[in-house]
């Protein structure tokens, strides 16, 4: 079955496939028509560049012009895994992929099916397999919901991490995180033994360095907001996502994660999508204390996605 999907990719088709983070919408990175299809299927603006997915170091060398020593250390430590690296690109890399920039983002996913598909079909561009503006898909059903029941999806069940990869620019000094993910700043610093900065897009600052940051992601139709002191957990048309606070209530719309933040990250997008399917009006999330943030590396990425969803849901 995987051979058939690989064949479809090699002949210009688009196939969704699982990674350890979220499902990707895959197309051959060397075929401009296939890459175009990805943009039009998603409804994605053409200046938002795509990540190239590889299954070997030699595939990376076809895309990246300079691979700094510290990037090699990161590759040794974290690939295959949820860390995307932004390199200077080779001239032959399609402008379509990079949005006309002189850099290209590459990662090696930590998923057996993804690696096997890429080694058969060649390097694949793969944005998250959702329609632009919807939460990223973490289950095959999410992809089918956005693209139709007949859409080709390699079924790998639920994704292990559930939030998109960390995006790190290794062309700048210091290296800069464009998007926080499962691989944290602390982990990156401990491998390269030097400072890492977090890129902050200033609203007035023209073209962003990572164009994806300006677009709406991660947003359900329901309003997402933080729990506040006035909430009494009685709303029937809301979902409550708690993780620390102990509450006695019979409201079945209350879900408790018992300080399991990796599980909350893994299920967040599914909760967003389920709320929309059930017509729930509000998703109310217990805020995270500074201690929780300091003690759980996934919190940086989790907070980032929740804050985006909250920002976007101010309606």
- If one asks whether residue 171 binds ligand TXA (CB under 6 A), the answer comes out as no
Strands 83-88 and 166-169: parallel
Residue from 51, 93, 143, 280 in contact with ligand TXA (CB under 6 A):
51
Measure the CA–CA gap between 9 and 42, rounded to whole angstroms: 17
Question: Does residue number 123 form part of the binding site for ligand TXA (CB under 6 A)?
Answer: no
176 binds ligand TXA per the rule CB under 6 A:
no
Smaller CB distance to ligand TXA: residue 212 or 286? 212
Helix, strand, coil % over all residues of the chain, rounded to 5? 35, 20, 50
The CA distance from 28 to 118, in Å, is: 9
- What radius of gyration do the chain's Cα atoms show? 19
CB of 307 to ligand TXA, least distance (A): 15
Task: Answer positive or negative: Cα dihedral of 26, 32, 34, 37.
Answer: positive
When the beta carbons of 19 and 128 are compared against Mg ion, the nearer one is: 128
Taking phi over 0 as left and psi of -120 to 50 as alpha, with beta for the rest, 283 belongs to beta
**128 part of the interface to ligand TXA, by CB under 6 A:** yes
Which two tokens mark 203? 């609203």
Q: What CA–CA distance (Å, rounded) separates 167 from 129?
A: 17
Residue nearer to Mg ion on the CB measure, 128 or 219: 128
Kindly state whether residue 140 participates in binding ligand TXA, applying the rule CB under 6 A.
no
Stretch of 72-80, 95-103, 219-227, 252-260 contacting ligand TXA, by CB under 6 A: 95-103
User: What angle, 0 to 180 degrees and rounded to 10, lies between the N-to-C axes of helices 185-192 and 69-78?
Assistant: 120
Q: Does 138 bind ligand TXA (CB under 6 A)?
A: no
Instruction: Please pick, from the candidates 9, 14, 15, 19, the single residue that binds ligand TXA as defined by CB under 6 A.
Output: 19
User: Please, are residues 33 and 173 in contact by the beta-carbon 8 Å criterion?
Assistant: no
Q: With contact defined as beta carbons under 8 Å apart, do 169 and 188 qualify?
A: no
CB of 68 to ligand TXA, least distance (A): 16
State the nearest-atom distance from the C-beta of 256 to ligand TXA, in Å: 27
Contacts of 200 (CB under 8 A, 6+ apart): none
Q: Which of 28, 34, 55, 98 binds ligand TXA (CB under 6 A)?
A: 98
Tell me: does residue 165 bind ligand TXA (CB under 6 A): yes
Nearest one of 261, 259, 166 to 210, comparing CA atoms: 166
User: How many whole angstroms separate alpha carbon 220 and alpha carbon 230?
Assistant: 24
| Span 187-216, contacts to ligand TXA by CB under 6 A | 210-213
Binding-site size, Mg ion (CB under 5 A): 1
- The binder of ligand TXA chosen from 15, 104, 108, 170 (CB under 6 A): 104
- Distance of closest approach, residue 75 Cβ to ligand TXA, in angstroms: 16
> Under the criterion CB under 6 A, does residue 220 sit at the interface with ligand TXA?
no
Of the candidates 235, 25, 262, the one whose C-alpha atom is nearest the C-alpha of residue 134 is: 25
Residue closest to ligand TXA when measured from CB atoms: 212
Pick from 103, 128, 184, 219: which binds Mg ion (CB under 5 A)? Answer: 128
CB 267: neighbour CB atoms within 10 A?
A: 18
Interacting residues with ligand TXA between 268 and 307 (CB under 6 A): none
Q: Indicate the residue among 35 and 104 with the shorter CB distance to ligand TXA.
A: 104
How many alpha carbons lie under 13 Å from residue 242 in its C-beta half-sphere? Answer: 19
Residues that bind ligand TXA (CB under 6 A): 19, 21-22, 24, 48-51, 82, 84, 86, 98, 101, 103-105, 109, 126-128, 164-165, 167, 178-179, 210-213
């Amino acid at each position: 079955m995987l051979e058939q999907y690989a064949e479809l990719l090699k002949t210009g088709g688009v196939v969704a496939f699982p990674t350890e983070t979220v499902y990707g919408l895959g197309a051959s990175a060397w075929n401009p028509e296939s890459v175009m299809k990805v943009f039009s299927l998603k409804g994605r603006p053409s200046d938002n560049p795509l990540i190239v997915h590889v299954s070997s170091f030699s595939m990376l060398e076809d895309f990246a012009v300079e691979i700094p020593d510290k990037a090699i250390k990161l590759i040794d430590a974290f690939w295959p895994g949820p860390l995307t690296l932004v390199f200077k690109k080779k001239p032959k890399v399609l402008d379509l992929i990079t949005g006309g920039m002189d850099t290209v983002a590459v990662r090696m996913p930590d998923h057996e099916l993804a690696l096997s598909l890429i080694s058969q079909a060649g390097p694949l561009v793969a944005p998250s397999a959702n329609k632009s503006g919807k939460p990223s898909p973490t289950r095959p059903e999410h992809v089918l919901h956005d693209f139709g029941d007949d859409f080709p999806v390699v079924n790998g069940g639920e994704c292990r991490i559930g939030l998109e990869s960390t995006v790190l620019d290794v062309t700048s000094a210091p290296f800069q995180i464009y998007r926080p993910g499962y691989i944290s700043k602390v982990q990156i610093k401990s491998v390269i033994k030097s400072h890492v900065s977090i890129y902050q897009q200033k609203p007035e600052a023209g073209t962003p360095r990572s164009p994806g940051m300006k677009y709406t992601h991660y947003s359900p139709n329901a309003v997402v907001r933080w729990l506040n002191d006035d909430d009494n957990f009685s709303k029937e048309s809301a979902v409550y996502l708690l993780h620390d606070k102990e509450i006695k209530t019979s409201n079945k719309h209350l879900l408790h994660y018992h300080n399991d933040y990796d599980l909350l990250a893994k299920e967040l997008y599914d909760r967003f999508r389920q709320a929309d399917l059930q017509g729930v009006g509000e998703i109310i999330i217990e805020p995270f204390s500074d201690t929780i943030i300091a003690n759980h590396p996934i919190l940086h990425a989790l907070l980032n996605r929740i804050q985006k969803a909250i920002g976007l849901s101010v309606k």
